[in-house]
Amino acid sequence: MLTQIARASLWNRRTTVALTLLALSIGVALLLGIDHLRHQAKDSFRQTLSGTDLIVGPRGGQTNLLLYSVFQMGQPSTSLSPDAYERLAHHPMVDWAVPIALGDAVQGFPVFATHWSYFERYRYGQDQPLVFAEGRPFAAHSDDQVVLGAAAARELGYGLGDSLVVAHGSAGVSFTHHDDHPMTVVGILEPTGTPADRRVHMTLLAMEGLHGGESSDAHDDHGHAEHGTAGHDDHDHGGHAHHDHHQQHSEAPDQSMEPVPGNINAVLLGLKSRPMVFALQRELNTTRNEPMTAILPGVALTELWQLLAVAENLLYLISFLVLLATLAGMMTMLLASMGERRRELAILRTVGASGLTLVLLIELEVALITLLSLVFGTLLLMAGLALAQPWLASEFGLFIAINPMSAQTAYLMLGILGLALVMGLVPALAAYRRALAAGLNPRQ
């Protein structure tokens, strides 16, 4: 009964209630959106890399190394030499090492030059490996093959066998294209929800070839050097034997034979024993042969979030103040309506409604407005996320879920409802006092 009265009363003031509802929905969407983006961004960053014990790069800032090597944000200032990589790869504590070179792009999608072993070693989320949706990894010694991440293939519109041209530099628009060195798509990865979806993977040899270093010549030289020792006898069996051997060499490469021509911006390391990670990090950070920076991905991420905590808290404060302002607006609207509702309240008192009943009526109206605002605010947020999702993925490599509902969101909604009910006590008590005054003075 009281609910029907509250609904009818709100409908009679539907214009002012609708405006209040709109303002409160925007405030709710803002507060829930900031909370959702904060958690999604953290989850997205955490799930980007798994199973890597150390990231090693040239001497510099830890955050910068983490951002450009894992998230392709920013640019490396210097690079490691091939000798430094060899020392890392053959260090007695190291189980595996995957070198990375960056710098070019395909229509804004970053080129990620690495070893063939990257597709075996790279893990994301809960130790999930990369999975091919189509095709295969690039051949270990190829200089014209690329593997596209899911988002890169989808947005660029490339499929297996298509040819693409790499542009110099990492910007979305470049005036220098490597037209003389087209690349062929040989594989497309399944979506991962990480920056790997936007990468254009190729070998380090291909990256070097694009910039005028050793490319196919190096490949041939390498092949002949190899064949000149262990595989020399195979050449005596003619061209078919050479082709078969070459094909097998490409599809099942020996990682130790993969050339590392230079321009290595970072190295992902997996250790034989994780307890050794601090000892190796200290050793690499203090080496004098070639200055390096070794970081633990999890620790570097924590430091990054600590740096962002001030901005994060500021956004929270602003959104909370916006919500508080809209709740105050709702309270003001209810207070202002008390004059208009004098007859309504008098009729309720006439039919036996107590002062407490009027308080409950006002609080029920507040609860209805707030609940509707939570629903509309959530829908508004989901619509905004659906529109912003492609832009966030393309610009920042962040893959934000459209559904903001979680346990944290539920607690936040309950907090908003509780705060609204507390603030609703002001007009409710005003109605209560007005009811008491009307009872003491029958002419009112």
As a whole number, the mean pLDDT across the chain is: 79
Of residues 425 and 391, more confidently modeled? 425
In angstroms, the CA 241 to CA 227 distance is: 12
Contact 52, 268 (CB under 8 A): yes
Q: Which two tokens stand for residue 90?
A: 């053959």
Q: What is the mean pLDDT of residues 148-164?
A: 90
| Per-residue confidence (pLDDT) for residue 213, from 0 to 100 | 57
d(CA 98, CA 117): 7
* Local confidence band at 219 (pLDDT 50, 70, 90 cut-offs): very low
pLDDT of residue 394: 63
Percent of the chain past pLDDT 90, that is, above it, reads: 17
Q: Are strands 266-271 and 183-189 parallel, antiparallel or unpaired?
A: unpaired
| Residues 300 and 49 sit within 8 Å (Cβ to Cβ) | no
Quote the pLDDT of residue 81. 85
CA-to-CA dists, residue 129 to 96, 118, 159, 439, angstroms: 15, 10, 22, 75
| pLDDT band per the 50, 70, 90 thresholds, residue 174 | low
Question: Residues 303-331: pLDDT tens digits?
Answer: 887 877 788 788 878 878 888 888 888 88
Question: Which residue, chain included where needed, has tokens 């087209």?
Answer: 182
- pLDDT for 154: 87
For 161, what's the count of Cα atoms within 13 Å in the CB-facing half-sphere? 0
Position 241 scores a pLDDT of 38
pLDDT at 170: 63
Report the distance separating Cα 272 and Cα 310, nearest Å. Answer: 38
CB atoms closer than 10 angstroms to residue 254: 10
Token pair recorded at residue 161 = 């066998």
Q: Please report which confidence band the pLDDT of residue 441 belongs to, taking 50, 70 and 90 as the band edges.
A: low
SS3 113: strand
Rounded to the nearest 10°, the torsion over CA 389, 392, 393, 397 is -150
| C-alpha 400, offset from chain centre | 6
- Residue 197 near residue 133 (C-beta atoms within 8 A): no
**What are the backbone angles phi and psi of residue 441, rounded to the nearest 5°?**
-120, 95
pLDDT value of position 143 = 84
Tokens of 298: 């999890």
% of the chain exceeding 70 in pLDDT: 83
Q: Which two tokens stand for residue 221?
A: 């030289």
CA gap 51, 296 in Å, rounded:
11
> Helix, strand or coil for residue 206?
helix
DSSP string, 279-298: HHHHHHHT-SSS-EEEE-HH
Q: Furthest-apart CA pair in the chain: how many Å?
A: 118
Q: Is residue 72 within 8 Å of residue 106, measured between CB atoms?
A: no
Per-residue pLDDT of 75-95, as tens digits, reads: 787 888 888 888 888 899 999
CA distance 196 to 114: 13
More confident residue, 413 or 234: 413
Query: Which pLDDT score is estimated for 249?
Result: 41
Of 140, 77, 88, which is closest to residue 114 (Cα–Cα)? Answer: 140
Please enumerate in sequence order all residues whose Cβ is within 8 A of that of 279, keeping only pairs 6 or more positions apart, or say none.
93
**Lowest-confidence segment of 43-52, 149-158, 368-377 by average pLDDT:** 43-52
Instruction: Read off the pLDDT of each residue in 130-148 and give the average, rounded to a whole number.
Output: 89
Identify the top-confidence range among 143-157, 294-308, 392-406.
Answer: 143-157
**pLDDT tens digits, 221-240:** 443 333 333 333 333 433 34
Angle, helices 407-440 vs 297-340, to 10°: value is 20
The CA distance from 12 to 14, in Å, is: 6
How much is the pLDDT for 258? 59
SS3 state at 405 = coil
Q: Give Rg (Cα) of the chain.
A: 32
